[in-house]
Amino acid sequence: MISKVLIANRGEIALRVLRACKELGIATVAVHSTADADAMHVRLADESVCIGPPPSRESYLNIHQIVAACEITGADAVHPGYGFLSENAKFAEILDAHGITFIGPTAEHIRIMGDKITAKQTAQELGIPVVPGSDGEVKPENALEVARKIGFPVLIKATAGGGGRGMKVAKSEADLEEAVSTARSEALAAFGNDAVYMEKYLGKPRHIEIQVVGDGMGNAVHLGERDCSLQRRHQKVWEEANSPALNVEQRMKIGQVCADAMKKLKYRGAGTIEFLYENGEFYFIEMNTRLQVEHPITEAITGIDLVHEQIRVASGAGLSVSQEDIVFSGHAIECRINAEDPRTFVPSPGTITHFHAPGGLGVRVDSGAYQGYKIPPYYDSLIGKLIVHGRTRVECMMRLRRVLDEFVIDGIKTTLPLFQDLIGNQDIANGDYDIHWLENYLASKTDA
Ligand code: ADP
């Protein structure tokens, strides 16, 4: 059994994990950089250890310091949250070698899913539908032959890709040579590796992802989908569960495909299988082998605490639920509140002079922010997540409108006004949007 968890993260997710540990009667250790000494996760943890100066490389990404902090405090497990070391196979291996439980999948599974080509091949072998594309790497010499087979338009992607970099669309044969050569040079500059592969380019897809949890022994369940199509620069902004685009049959069908795949893989822990969805078809894009930012909307509609499940399966206790126990109830929406200018998205660190979080039925605020908190300029600008649940999508939207009016964060700029704007939009009200909708909408507002 796990008795003391070191939380190798900061901000709202460190607090999220801490809350789950407290509920399970597990002691907590916070780690922090010198810039985060006053952070809420540090204040609420049973113990805390300073692991270095503000830059992440020297603190939250410093494996040596984190392992030392485990040894000093006697922590027998580490929860990595999301970002930072959460998808670092080496970190999982090092913890293993020290006899410390990594609350996450095996290093092998992290590695397979961390490489675009092996992830896609593995997904296909497991019966998950993938985007039609090349068999592995594409070279300039065979690009035309491969593209003709797939059919234009095609997308050239970096095998080492991430954050949407090193991706280029070729609409027709005439664009192909240039698309391949720019994708290769961008990939080389960004990742030090110029290998690229090719996929069919989908024009107006939605981003729909399936939440899974496995026990590592061949049992796994799915917890339905999240629609994360509203994105800016590949960053999710607003997420909802269920997707306005799917019906019950579609949900249970793709969910079962993913759960079965995870059983075959003997996957351990929480994971998310991401798809593009167009014309009724799902196309695998990647799998995240960790807890995701938007996991609370799944918790809202299922009532299942995903961090409790992560801790259970990491300690070998198995899942607390079977597929038949999982009932989807109502609708949930998450708004990511960033300390950013709502028009330009320029970060806005500084001191929060007033903070009032909304409340009432169906409202959850996950945030480490408080009145007087000084947001350091060194990290991600996510300062909180607002999650609203209702019996129907309409009720959820009505509640969200009320809750947004109640939320007060003064002293810095936040993206709250963006959501107040979106909640009044007809396309959003209709659930009628694809992955390009938000960018187009923001561009049309700047032009006006
Ligand atoms: P990265 O790891 O760089 O984020 P992904 O494979 O996750 O790369 O793709 C990032 C984004 O690019 C997706 O969320 C989607 O918006 C777009 N994209 C990826 N593959 C395709 C495709 N075949 N057709 C259209 N858009 C795609």
Question: For every residue of the chain, which 3-state class applies, written as one string?
Answer: CCCEEEECCCHHHHHHHHHHHHHCCCEEEEEEEHHHCCCHHHHHCCEEEEEECCCHHHCCCCHHHHHHHHHHHCCCEEECCCCCCCCCHHHHHHHHHCCCEECCCCHHHHHHHHCHHHHHHHHHHCCCCECCECCCCECCCCHHHHHHHHCCCEEEEECCCCCCCCCEEECCHHHHHHHHHHHHHHHHHHHCCCCEEEEECCCCCEEEEEEEEEECCCCEEEEEEEEEEEEECCEEEEEEECCCCCCHHHHHHHHHHHHHHHHHHCCEEEEEEEEEEECCEEEEEEEECCCCCCHHHHHHHHCCCHHHHHHHHHCCCCCCCCHHHCCCCCEEEEEEEECECCCCCCECCEECCEEECCCCCCEEEEECCCCCCEECCCCCCEEEEEEEEECCHHHHHHHHHHHHHHCEEECCCCCHHHHHHHCCCHHHHHCCCCCCHHHHHHHHHHHC
246 close to ligand 1 (CB < 6 Angstrom): no
Ligand 1: which atom is nearest the Cα of residue 201?
24
Q: Is 434 left (phi over 0), alpha (psi -120 to 50) or beta?
A: beta
Distance (Å, whole) CA 69 – CA 141: 51
131 close to ligand 1 (CB < 6 Angstrom): yes
**What is the 114 CA–ligand 1 centroid distance (Å)?**
15
Chain segment 145-192, per-residue pLDDT in tens: 999 999 999 999 998 877 777 799 999 999 999 999 999 999 999 989
Chain segment 373-392, per-residue pLDDT in tens: 999 999 999 999 999 999 99
Q: Give the residue-averaged pLDDT of 98-107.
A: 98
Ligand 1: which atom is nearest the Cα of residue 165?
3
Q: Give the residue-averaged pLDDT of 187-216.
A: 95
139 pLDDT band, cuts 50/70/90, is: very high
The question of whether 290 is a catalytic residue gets the answer yes
260: exposed, middle or buried (Cβ count in 10 Å: 0-12, 13-18, 19+): middle
Look at residue 448 in the predicted model and tell me its pLDDT.
67
Chain segment 341-374, per-residue pLDDT in tens: 999 999 999 999 999 999 999 999 999 999 999 9
Residues across the chain = 448
- Is residue 114 within 8 Å of 271, Cβ to Cβ? no
Q: Give the residue-averaged pLDDT of 98-117.
A: 96
**What is the 102 CA–ligand 1 centroid distance (Å)?**
29
Give the mean pLDDT of the chain: 96
Cβ neighbours for 19, distance < 8 A, ≥ 6 positions apart: 307
Distance (Å, whole) CA 331 – CA 392: 5
Look at residue 284 in the predicted model and tell me its pLDDT.
97
Look at residue 261 in the predicted model and tell me its pLDDT.
98
Structure tokens of 328? 């989807």
305 pLDDT band, cuts 50/70/90, is: very high
Task: Return the ∠ at Cα 206 (arms to 242 and 213), rounded to 5°.
Answer: 50
Structure tokens of 221? 């369940």
Q: Give the residue-averaged pLDDT of 38-66.
A: 98
132 close to ligand 1 (CB < 6 Angstrom): no
Distance (Å, whole) CA 98 – CA 70: 10
Cβ neighbours for 50, distance < 8 A, ≥ 6 positions apart: 31, 32, 33, 34, 37
Ligand 1: which of 113, 276, 286 to mutate, most ligand atoms within 8 Å of CB?
276
Tell me what percent of the residues of the chain surpass a pLDDT of 70. Answer: 100
Look at residue 355 in the predicted model and tell me its pLDDT.
98
**What is the 360 CA–ligand 1 centroid distance (Å)?**
37
Q: Give the residue-averaged pLDDT of 27-48.
A: 98
Q: Which one of 111, 184, 268, 290 is the catalytic residue?
A: 290
252 pLDDT band, cuts 50/70/90, is: very high
Q: What type of residue sits at position 256?
A: Q
Distance (Å, whole) CA 305 – CA 67: 27
382 close to ligand 1 (CB < 6 Angstrom): no
Q: Whose CA is nearest to atom 1 of ligand 1?
A: 162
Tell me what percent of the residues of the chain surpass a pLDDT of 90. Answer: 95
Has residue 312 got a pLDDT over 80? yes
Q: Give the residue-averaged pLDDT of 1-21.
A: 98
Count of C-beta atoms within a 10 Å radius of residue 338: 22
**What is the 320 CA–ligand 1 centroid distance (Å)?**
34
Residue among 386, 385, 381, 380 at smallest CA distance from 339: 381
> Greater confidence, 446 or 88?
88
Residue among 414, 336, 338, 409 at smallest CA distance from 370: 409
Q: Whose CA is nearest to atom 14 of ligand 1?
A: 234
